[in-house]
Structure 1
Amino acid sequence: MPATPSVVLHDVTFTWPDGTVALDHLSTAFGSGRTSLVGRNGAGKSTLVRLVTGQLHPTSGTVRTSGPVDLLPQRLATRPEDTVADLLGIRPALAALRAILDGDAAPEHFDAVGDDWDLEERAAAALDGIGLGAIGLAGIRTGAAVLDRPVATLSGGQAVLAAVAGIRLRGRPVAFLDEPTNNLDRRARGLLLDLVDDWRGTLVVVSHDRELLEHVDETVELRQGSATVYGGTYAQYEAHVAVQQAAVEREVRVAEQRHRAEQRQRIEAETKIARRARSGRKAAEGMPKIFANEMRKRGEQTAGKLRTGYAEDEAAALSAKHEAESRLRDDESLHVTLPVPDVPASRRIATVTVRGRQTIVQGPERVAVVGDNGVGKSTLLDQLVGVPDAREHPLPETSAVPHVDRVAYLPQRKDTLDDTASVLDNVRRDAPHVPVAEVRNRLARFLVRGDTVDRPAGALSGGERFRVALAALVLADPPPQVLVLDEPTNDLDLTSVDQLVDALRAYRGALVVVSHDETFLERLDLTTRIELR
């Protein structure tokens, strides 16, 4: 007997307040074990996750889970005062435990701790497992110092790993990880894959990361409002879809041939009917009028039946052709056209110094900044674009000084957008003189159109957020002379990554990019590579 699904969505519809339908009568289920949820940007994956985790409520239909659901969101919402214990989700219980150990026997402390008296030890072990633990002198664990460490001192990748470790630590029966490999270096990715392989309970991974998608038991694709379950990994899903699409393409060709044949037969029939009509008229000459009218009437009836029959056959063939074509995958893709800035080859763009070694970025160069999580790549970019805190707290012997004024920056968290403002207002902020109609037309090329343009930026999915943030950079007036991109492929589906690569290769300004995606970097035809250690 098959296992009872851990998550069931039945006839779920979700409509945004502006009337946009995100999911329409969707039914699907996630079984126990490891499942990937895949689909193009904007397909509704993040909306589905927010419905399952209770952040949103369906307009109609039902969502049922086998127990409490935990979530790693695309963007970790942290506060300046947060610590590693907050990322693990244990700060209240940890504070209660420490208060008891310090002699405070208040009942609420015991309620907060429950039976979890070894919480601090288990938390320290979880952090050790992801490389964030600390061993003191003579092997004495100093996990408290790590748990109290400010989140602001962690890299983006370290914060993600700590949050995933917290989900494992809490042990809820169902967990969703939304783009968990964003910002992770090779070592951190390996640690995350180990966590996934050893996961207990139901795990649903939302990702475009091919490597991660090979560590699941089944794949669920969300496409055009429908969810389809495929057994196996993403590679097996792709193979299944390729075979399926090859069969559909053959059906389309056969349907097209049949439609053309029915068209020819109808045309030939019309020609025969016309000839018979002419012959009938000649034969009727000299006949008594009553006989001529009867012969004409019968001829018209016969011709009408023939036309109806051939027209119905042609219509049926055309309908079959359209039905087959509807099963062909012809999804829209991102169309990115970057501006053409005035950057001569002799123009000095920036000076980057790493451990005393100086690199001059000059003209339309393509520069990659690489290194493990936590070595300061994002801090270096912050210096380059003039973030005040990065200038006040520079890395040792490392600096980045811009020599141009027009620098456009797309940070990891895409937090350049005002979540409370509409998409249109966000984009027009840097291009106030561009007509609204032109902004809407440009956004449509980024697959942002219709009512989405008027929606608050805070309601966007990760992929939509990236496209809007990039559109804001592209539409800036005057155009930037250097693009600074921090992990730009995060949240992008594979087709959109291809489009971004094509656009960046054609860009004639300077480009500075941080990425752990080596395949992406190799495709950019880099001129310079700066490694931080």
Structure 2
Amino acid sequence: MPTSITLANLSYRTPDGQTLFEGLDLSFGPQRTGLIGRNGTGKTTILKLITGELTPSGGQITVSGTLGVLRQSVQVTPGTTLAQALGIAEALARLERLDAGTGSLDDAAEADWTLTARLSSALAQTGLPDLDPHRPLATLSGGQRTRLALAALLIEEPDMILLDEPTNNLDADGRAAVADVLSGWRGGAIVVSHDRELLRRMDVIVELTTLGAKTYGGNWDHYAERKALELAAAEHNLAAAERKVVEIDRRIQAQAERKAKKDAAGTRKAAKGDIPRIVLGGMKRRAEETSGENARLAGRMRGDAAEAASEARAQIEILQPLSVKLAPTNLPTGKTIVDVKELTGGPDAGNPIIRNLSFTVVGPERVAITGANGSGKTSLLRLLTGELSPVSGTARILGSFAMLDQTVSILDPRETIRDNYRRLNPDEDENACRSALARFMFRADAALKVVGTLSGGEMLRAGLAATIGGRTPPQLLILDEPTNHLDISAIEAVEAGLKAYDGALLVVSHDRALLGNIGVEREIVLGDD
């Protein structure tokens, strides 16, 4: 039977009673499916329901074939070896006993003689060297552990693999390894991801929204094109339906005004006594009947038009795209804003990770700092901002700047968005504060949310508002992995804010789509001689 997963009339409610989805019908076949949607729509929940980690509130899940799962993080317990993490410790020990001449007949009968070759192939496919399987797992970096988990899937060879944000926290090489594994995968795959480059490797995109789930054949680019056309059509239908409601209301009002004038004229004529009473009674009865029929007809027309407008409105998920205009930074084109000369340093002064690095950023340049995990990207930013002192050389920022790290630590999580803004922009009054926050979609009471309660996307948006949204934005904005753990709509909002900023950008990121969309012009690769 072909590999498949079917969700029929599926419902799930969280322990606190929140309904994530209801009556959901979805099917996954032997192709690569990208599962996308805003954070909180239930993507990871669907994977856990498929694997049986969670129990649905209603409906059925049918799985045909074997499943393999790649988690968002690989847990490390003391003493765990690579072989144990790969799930091959027992099979490998059996082969080692046979090689040593101490194996039993049962060992010989159950031996997997292809295991060693498959292990080497899996490590190579995931970009890992031929590691000793008895090596402690704790000696691998986080990125290497993710690659090892991928290798475990290749060794296991399940019919369907489930991957939850597989490229989070991976460097460019790690992301490429995940993409290569998926490109060569011949079974089915369900990939929850916000990585648009990875989603370009998919055969099918399934989008989860507050309106339900919809399947789009093709990769991310095909989905984005179809989605834009659908949204434009839905917005056109909504505008037409709302215009019809307004037109019917106008016609009803005009008719009411004409009737009022006619009734007034009849009343004046009757007052003069020109019309017999019996005729007046008939005229009044016919007028009331006509008026009632007209009112019923107008009511039906307006009800039908309002229902059509409501149906059109229901086809559009209410999302407000971010489109902002920011004050200019007045950064001259020829001004050097970052000057690094023969810089050596890092957290361990005795073994500096940055050595003899020199570069400049001139004018409103947009520059990316890239390199493998552990190459010193964040250390470089700490040296630039003065958080670390260099061993030798200099690192200078020659103008105003602000920095947003992965946790947006510039914001106090105990304060409201509004209070954080006022603290970081003490020279601006309440009107300027509210105006700046509104440009980043924090209007009215939304500006009074406590930062610690915000989603990742909201927090980064609040950080952008507080740093570049004011009357005098800094001439340089430094970003350290700004889009980790953000969904695509949040990433696009961040991109919109950065596009509106006319100062210099220094960005640490492995997100190639982000770098392209915000206009990065140059790349400084650490660890590249």
Same fold (TM over 0.5): yes
Structure 1 residues 310, 526: CA separation in 2 closer, same or farther (over 3 Å shift)?
A: closer
2:286 alignment partner, one of 298, 313, 316: 298
1:148 alignment partner, one of 135, 139, 155: 135
Q: How does 1:89-488 map to 2 (within 5 A)?
A: 89-90=86-87, 92-93=89-90, 96-97=93-94, 100=97, 115-116=111-112, 118-134=114-130, 143-144=131-132, 148=135, 150=137, 153-154=140-141, 156=143, 158-184=144-170, 187-284=173-270, 285-286=272-273, 287=275, 289=277, 291-333=279-321, 353=343, 354-359=354-359, 367-372=367-372, 375-378=375-378, 380=380, 410-411=405-406, 464-465=455-456, 467-468=458-459, 485-488=479-482
Q: Is the 8 A contact 1:369 1:531 kept in 2?
A: yes
Q: Is the 8 A contact 2:404 2:479 kept in 1?
A: yes
Q: Is the 8 A contact 1:174 1:203 kept in 2?
A: yes
Say yes or no: does 1:32 pair with 2:46. Answer: no
Q: How does 1:490-509 map to 2 (within 5 A)?
A: 490-504=484-498
1:488-513 per-residue CA deviation (whole Å, 9 max, x = no partner) reads 33443444333223434667998643
Cα offset, 1:132, TM superposition = 1.3
**Distance in structure 1 (CA, Å) of the matches to 2:251 and 2:327:** 53
**Distance in structure 2 (CA, Å) of the matches to 1:51 and 1:11:** 10
Structure 1 residues 485, 246: CA separation in 2 closer, same or farther (over 3 Å shift)?
A: closer
Q: What SS is found at the alignment partner of 1:355?
A: strand
Residue 14 of structure 1 corresponds to 13
**Distance in structure 1 (CA, Å) of the matches to 2:240 and 2:79:** 62
Moved more, 366-375 or 507-516: 507-516
Structure 1 residues 470, 99: CA separation in 2 closer, same or farther (over 3 Å shift)?
A: farther
What letter corresponds to residue 115 of structure 2 in structure 1?
L
Cα offset, 1:384, TM superposition = 6.8
1:65 alignment partner, one of 46, 63, 75: 63
Q: What SS is found at the alignment partner of 1:32?
A: coil
What letter corresponds to residue 72 of structure 1 in structure 2?
L
1:75-94 per-residue CA deviation (whole Å, 9 max, x = no partner) reads x1433757772795326436
The structure with higher relative contact order (CA 8 Å, sep 6+) is 1
What letter corresponds to residue 320 of structure 1 in structure 2?
A
**Distance in structure 2 (CA, Å) of the matches to 1:166 and 1:293:** 92
1:350-388 per-residue CA deviation (whole Å, 9 max, x = no partner) reads 878343234578999865312345644356557778999
**Distance in structure 1 (CA, Å) of the matches to 2:368 and 2:265:** 81
Cα offset, 1:176, TM superposition = 1.4
Count of equivalent residues: 496
1:467-518 per-residue CA deviation (whole Å, 9 max, x = no partner) reads 4477579779xx9998764433344344433322343466799864322334
**Distance in structure 1 (CA, Å) of the matches to 2:13 and 2:179:** 32
Structure 1 residues 529, 335: CA separation in 2 closer, same or farther (over 3 Å shift)?
A: same
1:392-428 per-residue CA deviation (whole Å, 9 max, x = no partner) reads 9x9xx99989999x986634xx698xxxxxx966989
**Distance in structure 2 (CA, Å) of the matches to 1:334 and 1:73:** 32
Cα offset, 1:309, TM superposition = 1.0
Q: Is the 8 A contact 1:410 1:469 kept in 2?
A: no
TM-score by length of 1: 0.71
Structure 1 residues 301, 44: CA separation in 2 closer, same or farther (over 3 Å shift)?
A: same
Q: Is the 8 A contact 1:43 1:225 kept in 2?
A: no
1:38-75 per-residue CA deviation (whole Å, 9 max, x = no partner) reads 2234332223223323343334444332355332233x
**Distance in structure 2 (CA, Å) of the matches to 1:266 and 1:199:** 63
Say yes or no: does 1:521 pair with 2:510. Answer: no
**Distance in structure 2 (CA, Å) of the matches to 1:372 and 1:402:** 25
Q: Is the 8 A contact 1:407 1:483 kept in 2?
A: yes
Structure 1 residues 104, 486: CA separation in 2 closer, same or farther (over 3 Å shift)?
A: farther
TM-score by length of 2: 0.71
Q: What SS is found at the alignment partner of 1:43?
A: coil
Structure 1 residues 367, 239: CA separation in 2 closer, same or farther (over 3 Å shift)?
A: closer
Q: Is the 8 A contact 1:127 1:162 kept in 2?
A: yes
Structure 1 residues 203, 455: CA separation in 2 closer, same or farther (over 3 Å shift)?
A: farther
Structure 1 residues 238, 512: CA separation in 2 closer, same or farther (over 3 Å shift)?
A: closer
Q: What SS is found at the alignment partner of 1:144?
A: coil
Cα offset, 1:129, TM superposition = 2.0
**Distance in structure 2 (CA, Å) of the matches to 1:369 and 1:447:** 31
Q: Is the 8 A contact 1:410 1:470 kept in 2?
A: no
Residue 489 of structure 1 corresponds to 483
**Distance in structure 2 (CA, Å) of the matches to 1:443 and 1:69:** 46
1:416-446 per-residue CA deviation (whole Å, 9 max, x = no partner) reads 8xxxxxx966989x97998xxx99x989968
Structure 1 residues 349, 123: CA separation in 2 closer, same or farther (over 3 Å shift)?
A: same
Q: Is the 8 A contact 2:479 2:507 kept in 1?
A: yes
What letter corresponds to residue 410 of structure 1 in structure 2?
D
Q: Is the 8 A contact 2:340 2:357 kept in 1?
A: no
Q: Is the 8 A contact 1:12 1:63 kept in 2?
A: no
1:320-341 per-residue CA deviation (whole Å, 9 max, x = no partner) reads 1232233235423468999999
**Distance in structure 1 (CA, Å) of the matches to 2:204 and 2:515:** 30
Cα offset, 1:193, TM superposition = 3.0
Structure 1 residues 317, 167: CA separation in 2 closer, same or farther (over 3 Å shift)?
A: same
**Distance in structure 2 (CA, Å) of the matches to 1:521 and 1:99:** 49
Q: Is the 8 A contact 2:5 2:27 kept in 1?
A: yes
Cα offset, 1:313, TM superposition = 0.9
**Distance in structure 2 (CA, Å) of the matches to 1:347 and 1:69:** 52
Q: Tell me the C-alpha RMSD between the 2 structures.
A: 5.4
**Distance in structure 1 (CA, Å) of the matches to 2:139 and 2:324:** 33
Q: What SS is found at the alignment partner of 1:133?
A: coil
**Distance in structure 2 (CA, Å) of the matches to 1:296 and 1:261:** 29
**Distance in structure 2 (CA, Å) of the matches to 1:62 and 1:454:** 40
**Distance in structure 1 (CA, Å) of the matches to 2:100 and 2:452:** 49
Cα offset, 1:5, TM superposition = 3.3
1:283-322 per-residue CA deviation (whole Å, 9 max, x = no partner) reads 4342455653453233222212112212321221222123
Identity of aligned residues (%): 30
